[in-house]
Structure 1
Amino acid sequence: MKKLLFLCSGSLVGLPLSVWAAANSASLPAAAPSSAGSLLQVLFALALVLGLIVAAAWLMRRFSLVPGGAGGQLRVVSGVMVGPRERVVIVEIQQSWLVLGVTSGQVNLLHTLDKPEGVVTPTPAAPAFAQWLQTAIEKRKVGK
Structure 2
Amino acid sequence: MSEADVLRVIVTLVFILMVILAGAWAVRRSGLGRSGGGNQTLRLLASHSLGNRAWVAIVEVEDARLVLGVTSQQINLLHTLPPGATETDPTTGPSSPSPGFTAALARALKRR
Q: Given the two structures, how large is their TM-score scaled by the length of structure 1? A: 0.38
Larger RCO: 1 or 2 (CA < 8 Å, sep 6+): 2
More strand by share: 2
Greater Rg over alpha carbons, structure: 1
Q: Given the two structures, how large is their TM-score scaled by the length of structure 2? A: 0.45
More helix by share: 1
